[in-house]
Chain A
Amino acid sequence: MSEIIPIGPYHPLQEEPEFFRLHVEGEKVTKLDIEIGYNHRGIEKLAESKSWDQVVFLVERICGICSTSHPAASINAMEDLGGIEAPERAQYIRTIICELERIHSHMLWLGLAGHFIGYNTVWMWVWKYREIVCDIFEKVTGNRQSYAMFKVGGVRRDILDEDIPWIRKYLGKLKPALDLFKGAVMDDPVIHARTKGVGVLTKEQAKAYCVVGPTARPSGVAVDVRKDDPYFAYDWVDWDIVVLEEGDVFAKTACRILEMYESLKIIDQCLNKMKPGSIDLKIKELPPGEGIGRAEAPRGEVYHYILSDGSNFPARYKVRAPSYVNIFSNEVACVGEEVADAALVLAAVDPCYCCTERVVVVDQNKKEENVFYSHDLIKLSHEKTRKMKEELGL
């Protein structure tokens, strides 16, 4: 008997609008239909009516979590168009902002993943330490989210020398916290049982779906714009790209945790290497032509293409967010999984958490509809964790 379970279009945890229609047979998922477009805001068209300076603010509103990755790709595209190179100090500051953001975004994901599988302590601990990153942002940029730091040819605010010891002190608190999370995830038999071998995306599938970021790297595809096409200061500091082989939810989790260590390494070096100097070239206009900008967001490569006719406004602005390719890969990663795991697999891509605002179970034979709400799905997941704990004698 084949059933269809729709998930979406809104999720109460992260409120990301996507709609998944799970085709299930018994407990197994046999097919996945993905529908997007519930929150299409027409930003590409809107960008055509904004000046180059305003566009950076506009694209910052695309994502509320990784709010600095779109401006990063945007200014990269504009600097590619105009052949502009921002001053060294500005590049270091940009790198620090991007890496701080990666840490807070990965922590947000880790916390929600913990909550979903019934580990509310992980959720609360991780989010407690995420506050430290937000505090640093507040100190450096004046905002805890949407920092408005980037502009063509530089940054808007400097990092003050007198703030650096304070920043270091706060960053120092993160390393022990990361060790704590690493232990909590890597050494826990229940987390292993719930995530290992679940939602595997093979290397071939990853390449076919052209996925990016922490959806591609755990599947053995070494793609990271920071290494491949170095921008900002990524070329001037020493760090490693995290590539794992398994491609399951566990590898995706491990990849994000290990990446946070690399981010700390990068920030530390940037703070050391930063020299006094100019932070802005004060660019007034951009030439006609085309520009391509890329940036590695916490979720993967952000890609911006701009077309300029020499006026103060873009003639065409194209944005490709990493989730655009990553979400599509769920089509294969979800198949063969249990319903209780499906939402976790959808979430492992970190598009949105799992978009399970309400679930309608449609029994095709009886034509009945049963409406469940998000807490039912979360309960299903918690139930599974509880059973596993019992089986393991914990």
Chain B
Amino acid sequence: MTWKEIEKKIHEQFDAKILKWYKHNDNRIYIDIDPDNLVEFSRFLFEDLNSRFIIASGVDTPRGGIEILYHFDFFQMPQVLSLRIFTKKPKLEVESISGIIKAAEWIEREISELLGVQFNNHPDMRRLLLPNDWPEGKYPLRRDQ
């Protein structure tokens, strides 16, 4: 599959659900979606389009919520596609994609403890990096703390 075909397939399947399609350059593409469509979109990218999940990255924004980017690579192609979701404080909840993508298990645990986002239906929500005696409700990468 070429990148053109991948782009076409994403448009066919999800055109109505894409909030914003931003091309930083030919190889770096950012797609904003609603958190409700995340699992469906990730499944499509990972299973149907044969992509590789690279990592997710979360950031506490001044807009009053957490933004999470899910980065995907498509094998033998220079493009990186980043799915962007935004979840508003105080109810920071996102559906886990670990059920579809095993490799996302650790990073969801990490984002959960560093930024305080709850990942629903995650198989194993123990702490990953922080020590066991770290106080509850304190998140090192939050700007409001």
Residues of A within 8 A of B (CB): 36-37, 40, 42, 44-45, 80, 83, 207-210, 221-223, 227-230, 289-290, 292, 294, 301, 303, 305, 307, 315-316, 318, 320, 324-325, 328
Residues of A within 8 A of B53 (CB): 210
20 contacts between A and B (CB under 8 A): A37-B128, A37-B129, A37-B130, A37-B131, A40-B129, A40-B130, A42-B140, A80-B25, A208-B101, A210-B101, A227-B76, A228-B75, A228-B76, A228-B77, A229-B73, A230-B78, A290-B24, A292-B71, A305-B55, A305-B71
Residues of B within 8 A of A42 (CB): 140
Q: Check B52 against A320 for contact (C-beta < 8 Å).
A: no
Q: Check A328 against B77 for contact (C-beta < 8 Å).
A: no
Binding site secondary structure of chain B: mixed
Q: Check A289 against B76 for contact (C-beta < 8 Å).
A: no
In-complex Cβ contact of A303 among B55, B77, B102, B141 (8 A): B55
Residues of B within 8 A of A307 (CB): 59
Q: Check B128 against A294 for contact (C-beta < 8 Å).
A: no
In-complex Cβ contact of B129 among A36, A83, A228 (8 A): A36
Residues of B within 8 A of A320 (CB): 54-55
Q: Check B59 against A83 for contact (C-beta < 8 Å).
A: no
Contact with A along B3-40 (1 / 0, CB 8 A): 00000000000000000000011011010000000000
Closest A residue to B24 by CB, please name it. Answer: A290
* Bound CA–CA A209/B106 (angstroms): 11
Interface centre among A208, A290, A307, A324 (most CB of B within 10 A): A290
Question: Taking the complex as formed, is B89 at the interface, i.e. its CB lies under 8 A from any CB of chain A?
Answer: no
Residues of B within 8 A of A (CB): 24-25, 27-28, 30, 52-55, 57, 59, 69, 71, 73, 75-80, 82, 101-103, 105-107, 127-131, 140-141
Q: Check A80 against B128 for contact (C-beta < 8 Å).
A: no
* Bound CA–CA A40/B71 (angstroms): 23
Q: Check B103 against A209 for contact (C-beta < 8 Å).
A: yes
Q: Check B78 against A36 for contact (C-beta < 8 Å).
A: no
Known interface pairs A45-B140, A210-B101, A210-B103; A229-B78 also in contact (CB < 8 Å): yes
Closest B residue to A48 by CB, please name it. Answer: B141
Binding site secondary structure of chain A: mixed
Residues of A within 8 A of B141 (CB): 44-45
Known interface pairs A37-B129, A292-B71; A210-B52 also in contact (CB < 8 Å): yes
Q: Check B24 against A294 for contact (C-beta < 8 Å).
A: no
Q: Check B54 against A301 for contact (C-beta < 8 Å).
A: yes
Known interface pairs A228-B75, A292-B82; A37-B54 also in contact (CB < 8 Å): no
In-complex Cβ contact of B24 among A80, A207, A303 (8 A): A80
Closest B residue to A211 by CB, please name it. Answer: B103
Residues of A within 8 A of B106 (CB): 324, 328
A369 CB, nearest partner CB in chain B, Å:
20
Residues of A within 8 A of B59 (CB): 307, 315-316
Q: Check B103 against A328 for contact (C-beta < 8 Å).
A: yes
Interface centre among A208, A209, A228 (most CB of B within 10 A): A228
* Bound CA–CA A230/B26 (angstroms): 13
Residues of A within 8 A of B101 (CB): 208, 210
Residues of A within 8 A of B80 (CB): 229, 292, 294
Residues of A within 8 A of B76 (CB): 222, 227-228
A72 CB, nearest partner CB in chain B, Å:
16
B32 CB, nearest partner CB in chain A, Å:
12
* Bound CA–CA A80/B79 (angstroms): 12
* Bound CA–CA A228/B78 (angstroms): 5
Given contacts A40-B129, A229-B77, A316-B59, 13 further A-B contacts (CB under 8 A): A37-B131, A45-B141, A210-B53, A223-B73, A228-B73, A228-B75, A229-B79, A290-B24, A303-B54, A307-B59, A324-B55, A328-B105, A328-B106
Q: Check B102 against A208 for contact (C-beta < 8 Å).
A: yes
Q: Check B30 against A290 for contact (C-beta < 8 Å).
A: yes
* Bound CA–CA A294/B73 (angstroms): 11
Listed from nearest, the 8 A-B pairs whose CB atoms lie closest are A210-B103, A318-B57, A37-B129, A229-B78, A320-B55, A316-B59, A40-B129, A208-B102
* Bound CA–CA A50/B24 (angstroms): 25
Residues of A within 8 A of B103 (CB): 208-210, 325, 328
